[in-house]
Structure 1
Amino acid sequence: MNYIKKIALLIPTLLLIACHDDLDQTPIDPDSFTETNVFANADEAKGALAKLYASLALTGQQGPAGQADITGIDEGTSQYSRLLFSLNELTTDNAVVGWGDPGLPNLHAMNWGAGNDFTTGMYYRLAQEVSFTNSFIENAQLLNDNAEVEAYIAEARFLRAFAYFNLMDLFGSVPLVTVVSTDLPEQSTRAEIFNFVEGELLEIQNTLKESGANEYGRVDRVAAWALLSKLYLNAEVWTGTARYTDAITYAEMTINSSYSINTTDANGNGSAYDELFLADNNTNGAQNEFIFALNFDGNNSRTYGGTTFLVHAAIGGSMDAFNFGVNGGWSGLRTTKALVNKFDAAVTDSDDEGNPIAWSDTRAMFYTDGQSFEINTIANQFTDGYAVTKFTNIDSNGAAGSDTGGDFVDTDLPIIRLAEIYLTYAEAVLRGGAGGDVNTAAGYINELRARAYGNTSGNITSSALTLDFILDERARELYWEGQRRTDLIRFNDFTTGNYLWPFKGGSRSGTAVDEFRNLFPLPSNIILINTNLTQNPGY
């Protein structure tokens, strides 16, 4: 991961800054490791490829702090999946956080501005990924007629498409830059970004390795199919043109690949679902469901983002951090009753006030002891709202992760897993996509529910499969995995009064907000630097 030299980035313009000719010299120091060395052959290029994956999982050259890849934001906060959680979960019914970091309370209140640290940080993080991938692709292409390097380039193009998928979802119209340049880029429309992502994925699908043939943690062609299915599912929102038939096509290709739903209950607790979020989820069977995941290791890839954040930040109150394989909690993240209520059909026990405290659906992973069902105060009140126990640093045998100090977590984070594609298929069928079948869709949903319940008691009939059911089922299956805001926008529930949750819009009972909040603002300093760009409406 350190094979790439530290590169100067002009992040606000989505550019990689090229060195001036008079500075572009071969170092005299024989110990220096330069771009020439990095791309000397396929083996060295593979090390550079690792940096492209690492820039999504980690935050800099040193880790967990020091030599950050981007500046202007706390390094741990700047990690990709932590920012994704902040923008796609904290803005919804799935999560609240009690910390008062500047810009953080504004996310759940849905009143962020163009200078918000978290929206700005995400733009920078994704811009950096675009810069790194552009540089890699340009240099790796010089290694001619090497099939292995061609596969590396296809992976880099997938990661660049993935970065633009996120930029399009979160920010809408952004610059489209595919080469290393010092020119200030023009702004591309959301539809143009969509077309670019689609074209890249279609072009590289057969160059990527066969299903399951790549190293764990690296993408194969199924990742391209899965991302295409996600892209087409959201096409009507992002381009105005429905593409549900295409969503079905690529969901089916994904489902028919070598990946499979994890049904292994390795720890013998009656649930195969929790295996997906344990410290050994790279080996306990869960990995067979992970189409694209970020890899973490408590000793070798340390960050204050990733699953280290998801585990530590969700522990507080009377919770015992030892039971989660870490040395303490950060007393931050909880959930709202709106998410808890999605499991109403599975409630098996309630407290004296009638609030649910036990469920037959094992996906309802909530800590209730000493926690209130209602949230009266978000700030600094960890006991307001149920805690979430979904992510832990305990393996299937009950042992803690590899970091003996208990600071950093081994648990990998699925970004795309097969269960999501089951749900994508079902939704696309219900939205009128051709080529799908509602009975098949119900079968996929029941496969997930049978895993969750441990039997068929939660199974549904095809007549019960509605769009509202799918939205709720996505919440039950995918909460805290960075999906919720995108889902709510697709169902027209994110900003409208159609669906309210506690403290939506800053109101205790929830209130609608302006429609422009469906997009985040381009960072204010980017607008100042690049006059080719126009700010999103409302900001």
Structure 2
Amino acid sequence: MKKYIVITIIALTSVFHSCTDDLNVVSEDDDVLSSDVLFSTPAGYKAAFAGVYGNLTLTGVIGPNDSSLEGVDAGTSQFTRCLLYMQELTTDELVWSYENDGGTAELQRNIWTSANPVILGMFSRTMVSVSYANEFLRQSTPEKLSARKITDAATVADIELYRNEVRVLRAYAYYNMMDLFGKAPMYTENDPLNFRGPQYDRKQLFDFIESELKAVLPNLKAARTNVYGRLDQSMARMILAKMYLNAQVYIQANRYNDCITMCNEIIAGGYSLKPKYLENFMADNNTSEEIIFGIQSDGTVSQNWGATTVLTNGQVGAWENNPGDFGIGGWTGALRIRKEFVQKFDGVKFSQDDRNTIGKGVAGDPTKQRTIDIADIGVKTQGYILSKFSNKTSAGVNGSSSTYADTDFPLFRLADVYLMYAEATLRGGNGTTAKALEYVNDLRERANNNSTIGNIVLSDLTLDFLIDERARELHWEAHRRQDLIRFGKFTGGSYNWAWKGNSAKGISIPSYRSVFPIPEGSLGANKNLTQNTGY
């Protein structure tokens, strides 16, 4: 049982019911507690605080098919699932077989429009995170606490820490808006209800997120000292590191030195590589000393259609990958990988690499061998498959459900920090190439059971190497689209992959697709928003 999920269920049931029209916390149910009732006790504050976290996992208060977002389906609005689809399904790493599922065909063929339901789900769910955070901040000021006779020093200190963590969660929401949409309506706790937020562009969002994170960082728990499931200083630093690495894309500025500073501070926080790579993606990965922040999942308590449920079920093939091997029922070939990703594991160096979980068919059965090419996305036996995620623990024990995964989504982990350090150094930052090489080879040795067979030398350490190594290490973890954009390989035709641009062999896509469109409904709800160019 993940420690913070039970209280999350209580919180979401209690207060946070949301309407996508105004993106403020609005009760539409007589059974939902008013703010004055919920926030009348320290326990109420703790429950509401957990509810802000809960929006990253849950979609509603009844069950996996319930959505708290008016007019938005639960299946297309769970945060990690939307993040996975937008960052992975749009790239060379993933194919979804069931193209009748709303929005998926357009995403994986790079032909999405502003009517795409997954894009609406992501925009709405992320902005509701902002809304929930703002409501908590409104209700937890010193003046509010005093008026409610909450004066115990320890309780007041706890709530102040909650406030700082909530500000990080709000900053993370705006980080995703900046990355995915390039703009967002700005709301803070100082705005009145039913206020239509002004549109912030990327520079304004970047400045807001950076200032918020820097302001709260000293007052967060030190790395690895908080309750599991809650963030600490390393989470804030990770968001900053990501921003600085991508600053050329976001604000046309060189912030590589700042990225390296953040990476060094995270590395000094006491994290270490999990000795076995695949244990980062199992049902007990909440024990991993490598994961900086994981979004919790529990197959019994927090049932939802999130990323790890999709990945564990979806990777089970139509022929192979016995569902029992993964502690999950399986969806008979829902997920496959594209040729260009497969080829990143070509060569003898990857024959024993633990990250290479590629399946090519049933061994010894010539009638059940997969083709590397996917001529028809609907044919589930075309294209290779993976076995990266599991609903079993590292001890081989099945998760609590055969439908919903217990596996937490590893949003940020140390391996990414090592690769960011290496990339920022090669791009001119003030790291050392010797340390960058050491970090890359640490990952290679871990993947090869401490063997040096996969190690590289300094002349191998190039940016072209790193974009491929990021795919090998971090595939299916919601980084790929951002990475390809940063390397100039997402739009245009310098790098094509199967079904890019709705062509089986892959074709160029226009530059405006480096950001997603603002959903039609969101434009209608807030006249301050403008549509992104090209849509």
TM-score, length of structure 2 as denominator length: 0.91
Distance 2:422 2:438 in 1: 9
Structure 2 residue aligned with 1:83: 82
1:9 aligned residue: 18
2-side partners of 1:438 and 1:462: how far apart?
8
Residues 66-120 of structure 1, C-alpha deviations (whole Å, 9 max, x = no match): 3x21143431332111111111100000001111223211111111111111111
Q: Which amino acid aligns with 1:274?
A: L
Q: Which runs of 5+ in 2 are unaligned?
A: 1-7, 147-152, 362-367
Give SS of 2:242's match. Answer: helix
Which of residues 498, 507, 514 in structure 1 aligns to 2:510?
514
**Cα–Cα, structure 1 residues 114 and 511, in superposed 2: closer, same or farther, change >3 Å?**
same
Q: Matched residues in 1 for 2:22 and 2:248: separation? A: 28
- For 1:390, the equivalent position in structure 2 comes to 388
Q: How does 1:279-290 map to 2 (within 5 A)?
A: 279-283=283-287, 286=288, 288-290=289-291
Which residue number corresponds to residue 353 of structure 2?
A: 361
- Using the TM superposition, name which of 88-97 and 56-65 deviates more: 56-65
1:410 aligns with 2:406: yes
Deviation for aligned residue 1:12 = 4.7
Specify the alignment match of 2:529 in structure 1: 533
The Cα shift of 1:538 comes to 0.3
Identify the residue that residue 493 of structure 1 maps to in structure 2: 489
In the other structure, the counterpart of 1:148 is: 158
Which whole-Å CA distance do the structure 1 matches of 2:347 and 2:369 have between them? 21
Q: Name the counterpart of 1:351.
A: none
Superposed CA deviations along residues 466-521 of structure 1, whole A, max 9, x for unmatched, are 11111111000000000000000000100111111111111111111110000000
Shift of 1:378: 4.1
1:378/1:136 Cα in 2 relative to 1: closer, same or farther (>3 Å)?
farther
The alignment partner of 1:414 has SS state of strand
User: Which residues in structure 2 correspond to 1:95-174 (within 5 Å)?
Assistant: 95-99=94-98, 100-141=100-141, 142-143=144-145, 146-174=156-184
Of the three residues 211, 224, 233, the one matched with 1:221 is 233
Helix, strand or coil at the partner of 1:11:
coil
CA contact (8 A) 2:314 2:330 kept: no
Secondary structure at the counterpart of residue 366 of structure 1: coil
Whether the aligned pair in 2 keeps the contact of 1:42 and 1:148 (CA below 8 Å) is: no
CA distance in 1, matches of 2:415, 2:534: 36
In structure 2, how many angstroms separate the alpha carbons of the residues matched to 1:155 and 1:371?
50
Which residue number in structure 2 is paired with residue 184 of structure 1?
Answer: 196
How many Å separate the matches in 1 of 2:218 and 2:43?
22
Contact 1:41 1:143 in 2 (8 A): no
Tell me the residue number matched to 1:356: none
Distance 2:159 2:239 in 1: 22
| 169-178 or 369-378, which deviates more | 369-378
Secondary structure at 2:347's aligned position in 1? helix
**Which digits, 9 at most, give the CA deviation of each residue in 1:151-171, with x for residues without a partner?**
111110111000000000000
Shift of 1:18: 8.5
In structure 2, the partner of 1:276 is 280
Q: Does 1:237 align with 2:249?
A: yes
Aligned position for 2:319 = 318
Q: Which residue pairs with 1:327 in the alignment?
A: 329
**1:266 match:** none
CA distance in 2: counterparts of 1:181 and 1:74, whole angstroms: 25
The offset of 1:280, in angstroms, is 1.4
Deviation, structure 1 residue 6: 4.5
Which whole-Å CA distance do the structure 2 matches of 1:166 and 1:512 have between them?
Answer: 25
Aligned partner of 1:376 in structure 2 is 374
CA 280–371 in structure 1, closer or farther in 2 if over 3 Å, else same:
farther
Moved more, 177-186 or 56-65: 177-186
Deviation at 1:426, TM superposition (A): 0.7
Aligned identity (percent) is 40
Deviations 1:340-396 (A, max 9, x none): 111113467xxxxxxxxxx22110112221352433344321111111110011111
Please identify, of 362-371 and 241-250, the stretch whose mean Cα deviation from structure 2 is larger: 362-371
Report SS of the residue matched to 2:429: coil
1:165 partner letter: Y
Is the alpha carbon distance of 1:40 and 1:382 closer, same or farther for their aligned partners in structure 2, counting shifts above 3 Å?
same
Cα deviations by residue, 1:264-301 (Å, 9 ceiling, x for unpaired):
xxxxxxxx001111111123xx2x11111111111111
Aligned mates of 2:352, 2:20 — CA distance in 1? 48
In the aligned structure 2, how far is the partner of 1:73 from the partner of 1:313? 23
Distance of 1:460 and 1:368 partners within structure 2: 27
Does structure 2 retain, via aligned residues, the 8 Å contact 1:505–1:512? yes
- 2:160 alignment partner AA: E
Q: 2:369 & 2:159 partners in 1: Cα distance?
A: 53
State the distance in 1 between where 2:38 and 2:199 align. 32
1:423 alignment counterpart: 419
2:343 is aligned with what amino acid? N
Give 1:150's aligned amino acid: E
**AA aligned opposite 1:516:** Y
Give the counterpart letter for 2:42 in structure 1: A
> Shift of residue 260 of structure 1?
1.5
Q: d(CA) in 2 for partners of 1:315 and 1:72?
A: 32
1:460 alignment partner, SS class: coil
Q: 1:467 to 1:32 in 2, by over 3 A?
A: closer
- Give RMSD over aligned pairs: 1.9
Whole-Å Cα distance in 1 between the matches of residues 453 and 395 of structure 2?
28
SS of equivalent residue, structure 2 residue 438: helix
Output the CA distance in 2 between the equivalents of 1:12 and 1:244: 39
CA distance 1:371–1:55, change in 2 (3 Å):
farther
Offset from partner CA, 1:214-262 (integer Å, 9 cap, x none): 0111101111111111110011100111111100000100011122111
Query: Structure 1: how far apart are the matches of 2:340 and 2:224?
Result: 37
The equivalent of 2:42 in structure 1 is 42
Residue 336, structure 1, aligned to residue 338, structure 2:
yes
Q: Which amino acid aligns with 1:228?
A: L
Q: What is the aligned partner in structure 2 of residue 267 from structure 1? A: none
Q: Which amino acid in the other structure matches residue 306 of structure 1?
A: A
Confirm or deny: 8 A CA contact 1:244 1:433 kept in the other structure: yes
Are the equivalent residues in 2 in contact too, given 1:280–1:395 (CA < 8 A)? yes
Q: Matched residue of 1:126: which SS?
A: helix
